[in-house]
Amino acid sequence: MIPAISIVGHSGSGKTSLIEHLIRELKMRGRRLAAVKHAHEDFDLDRPGKDSYRFAAAGCEAVTLLGARRSALIRTHEADYAFDDLLDLAGREADIILIEGLSSGPYPKIEVYRDDLGRGLRCGPETLMAVVTDQPLDISCTQFSPQEIGAIADLVEKSVSEGASEKTSNLVDDTN
């Protein structure tokens, strides 16, 4: 499975901006990336009147949009989709998957915190790799300012490398 990191935090904290900056930084480092946005609510990606919308409205379980350089798959499913399966599909050509949200998921997490929102951390500090914060917090967790994109990218790459090393060592252990 492709390594995934969740960028979590309350609405308006800066998750999307952090992910945009990380994508640019990690791309400059030669990484191939995929991004997954976890939505709590049902959503509609397509627009009424378009062919793909009409196909879905007529009853298709899956509609694929295929262009010269981009594609999109819109699937209807009866229950929550297995997130690991989605990550495998979304990240097939990626080295790292950045997930926006999914604070309750099993993936390593970096929380984005803004003091002016007046809310505490979304996750317990013991569950976080790091916090990106505009104000130092009194917690025992690695902390970065939002401007430290290079250092945050270093942490992401280190986490990915360590995850790959653990998988390799588990493979070696399994063969002994």
Domains by residue range for the chain, with CATH: 4-39+94-175 (3.40.50.300)
Low-confidence ranges of the chain (pLDDT < 70): 38-46, 77-91, 163-176
According to the model, what pLDDT value does residue 65 have?
76
Question: CB of 92 within 8 A of CB of 71?
Answer: no
According to the model, what pLDDT value does residue 175 have?
41
According to the model, what pLDDT value does residue 167 have?
45
Q: How far apart are CA 25 and CA 51, in angstroms?
A: 37
Q: Which one-letter amino acid corresponds to residue 69? A: R
- The pTM for the full model equals 0.78
SS3 33: strand
According to the model, what pLDDT value does residue 40 have?
59
According to the model, what pLDDT value does residue 74 have?
73
According to the model, what pLDDT value does residue 81 have?
61
**Cβ within 8 Å of residue 115, ≥6 positions away:** 133, 134, 135
According to the model, what pLDDT value does residue 174 have?
43
According to the model, what pLDDT value does residue 71 have?
74
List b or e across 46-68, with b for residues whose CB sees 16 or more CB atoms inside 10 angstroms: beeeeebbeebeeeeeebeeeee
